[in-house]
Amino acid sequence: MEDDGELAALVRRTADASSAFIRGDMRIYVALLPHADDYTLMSPYGGVAHGFDHSDASLDATAAWFQGGEAELEVVQTYRAGEIAVIVAIERQHGVVGGLPAQDWSLRVTLVFRRDDGEWRLVHRHADALVHTIDHSQLSALARGGGPAVRDSSGGVGEKSD
């Protein structure tokens, strides 16, 4: 990591924000990581979203989805060039999400910040659950929009069905 006190403080805030998010403390999360007006999100659920909904209804809905847990930010790399900072990390998380029992909810994340009016604002977040490596057939199934690939009795690859 670059020897930069301001960047180190941003990493600490990001770690605290990750912990708040998995606990469902959305107002603390937003206070720690203000989002830029032109924010983009590539969420672990797929797709691309533009903007961040700060409304009480949206924050309350997200808080209800993330019902408790703990997180540790494992920083892989940081970059800073003037008014832009990037944090590449693994959010090592464990918690209750979406009503499912407590489980590993770790994500690979890339966070891009821009300093606007003296404040670091989150302009982009890319998160995915590929913390553990997968093989080509699993990646292929995900790329097609399907579930996990499985080998059938003949050795062919198909998609797992429930």
Q: At 145, is the pLDDT very low, low, confident or very high (cuts 50, 70, 90)?
A: confident
Residue tagged 């990646």 (tokens): 139
Q: At 78, is the pLDDT very low, low, confident or very high (cuts 50, 70, 90)?
A: very high
Entry pTM: 0.85
Q: Comparing C-alpha atoms, which of 147, 54, 44, 142 is closest to residue 91?
A: 44
- The alpha carbon of 41 is separated from its chain's Cα centroid by a whole number of angstroms, namely 9
* Residue 150 pLDDT > 70: no
Greater model confidence, 3 or 76? 76
Judge whether 105 lies within some domain. yes
Judge whether 67 lies within some domain. yes
Judge whether 74 lies within some domain. yes
* Residue 149 pLDDT > 60: no
Judge whether 83 lies within some domain. yes
Q: Comparing C-alpha atoms, which of 68, 57, 60, 61 is closest to residue 96?
A: 68
- Which CATH number does the domain housing residue 63 bear? 3.10.450.50
Judge whether 37 lies within some domain. yes
Residue 124 is part of which domain span? 5-152
Tokens of 95: 């918690």
Q: At 131, is the pLDDT very low, low, confident or very high (cuts 50, 70, 90)?
A: very high
* Residue 101 pLDDT > 50: yes
Identify the bridge partners of residue 70 per DSSP, sorted by sequence position: 94
Tokens of 136: 């080509």
Residue 91 and residue 29 in contact, taking contact as beta carbons nearer than 8 Å = no
Judge whether 161 lies within some domain. no
**What does the pLDDT read at residue 147?**
64
Judge whether 159 lies within some domain. no
Structure confidence by residue, pLDDT tens digits, 4-60: 899 999 999 999 999 999 999 999 999 999 999 999 999 998 999 999 999 999 999
Q: What is the largest CA-CA distance in the chain?
A: 62
The Cα–Cα gap between 34 and 22 comes to 17
How many structural domains is the chain composed of? 1
**What does the pLDDT read at residue 148?**
57
Tokens of 3: 């020897």
* Residue 158 pLDDT > 50: no
Residue 66 and residue 105 in contact, taking contact as beta carbons nearer than 8 Å = no
* Residue 161 pLDDT > 80: no
